Structure 1
Amino acid sequence: MDLQLYKDQALLKQKEHRKFLDGLKKKQPKNLDYIVQETHEEVFEKMDCLKCANCCKTTGPLFTEKDIERISKHLRMKQADFEEKFLQVDEDRDKVLKNLPCHFLGDDNTCSIYEVRPKACREFPHTDRKKIYQINHLTLKNTIICPAAFEFVEKLQNNLGKL
């Protein structure tokens, strides 16, 4: 998978994608949630995250208190020790990873804490959300990081064009 090619394409299409996504917010087509879900499934039938893992290499998820509790319990660590070893507080006062790529990412792109991974990781790239137009800024940002998010926006444009 050529990540640079996807990133370059995403950067070239930022303006077009922003205009399309803003249009979704204004028009809110009928059955949008259904079409979004269908498009998401279509994209992920072809995309294999294990061939990429760019999200785990380049962006740190936000860790909620529930995430920290669940993961530290799984690792048999005290929450404070987990936070001290792996997390930092960012400028938004969110708890995020200290270092990238993610400590839990294996050489084979698998996650050593997959079953208990943070909510942000479970939901990434957020392309199956209801009312997707509420996260346009995030979807646009994710097209640069995630080939599947880029393909999703491209395919959603095509799928809505067929309406």
Structure 2
Amino acid sequence: MQLVIKKEGFSFAFDPNACASCNGACCRGESGYIWVSKQEIEAIAQFLQLSTQDFISNYLKKEGYRYSIKEIKSKGEHFCIFFEEGRGCSIYPVRPKQCRDYPFWERYKDKKNISEVCQECKGILLHYS
């Protein structure tokens, strides 16, 4: 059982145990960007036993000078290409920093954005000390 996580600068805590029952709410929904660094690209490619170039060609889209993981649209939602319904993230051990940091994103330090993360994430604990 994982402990509740609290980070400085955030007005909420996070219970990672809630992830088991949410079916990937943070991996699906509106279209967006899942940014990956050069090091993350190399680590994910190695994890998938692909060359870096094959990984880039098949799983990433270039946005300006950066890469983002592709999405799949299904049932009116956008899903990370590595999200498997009922199973979760297929690259979990090497998932990008953006995914590892969630829900502790800079935008959620601003209290005006708290309702957004609360709607998406069952693990948010607003009144935790």
TM-score with structure 2 length normalisation?
A: 0.66
- 1:136 is aligned, of 86, 106, 110, to 110
Assess if the C-alpha contact under 8 Å between 1:60 and 1:102 holds in 2. Answer: no
Q: CA deviation at 1:61?
A: 1.6
- Unaligned 5+ runs, structure 2: 1-6, 73-78
Assess if the C-alpha contact under 8 Å between 2:60 and 2:68 holds in 1. Answer: yes
- 1:47 is aligned, of 11, 18, 22, to 18
User: Which whole-Å CA distance do the structure 2 matches of 1:77 and 1:144 have between them?
Assistant: 37
Identity of aligned residues (%): 20
- 2:36 is aligned, of 46, 63, 66, to 63
- Unaligned 5+ runs, structure 1: 1-31
Residues 81-140 of structure 1 deviation map (CA, whole Å, 9 limit, x = unaligned): 10110111225x33112223112111214111111111111111116xxxx689539x55
SS in 2 for 1:48: helix
Which residue pairs with 1:85 in the alignment? 58
C-alpha spacing 1:108/1:68, structure 2 compared with 1 (3 Å): same
SS in 2 for 1:47: helix
Which residues of 2 match residues 1-150 of structure 1 at below 5 A?
A: 33=8, 36=10, 39-40=12-13, 43-44=14-15, 47-58=18-29, 59-91=32-64, 93-100=65-72, 101-126=79-104, 135-136=109-110, 140=114, 142-143=116-117, 146-148=120-122
Q: CA deviation at 1:68?
A: 0.4
Assess if the C-alpha contact under 8 Å between 1:87 and 1:95 holds in 2. Answer: yes
SS in 2 for 1:70: helix
User: Which whole-Å CA distance do the structure 2 matches of 1:90 and 1:133 have between them?
Assistant: 21
Q: CA deviation at 1:60?
A: 3.9
Structure number with larger C-alpha Rg? 1
TM-score with structure 1 length normalisation?
A: 0.54
Q: Give every structure 1 segment of 4 or more consecutive aligned residues whose post-TM-superposition deviation is greater than 4 Å.
A: 132-135, 139-142
User: Which whole-Å CA distance do the structure 2 matches of 1:125 and 1:75 have between them?
Assistant: 26
* Cα RMSD, aligned residues only: 3.5
Which residue pairs with 2:75 in the alignment? none
Assess if the C-alpha contact under 8 Å between 2:61 and 2:67 holds in 1. Answer: yes
AA aligned to 2:67 is: K
Q: CA deviation at 1:79?
A: 0.8
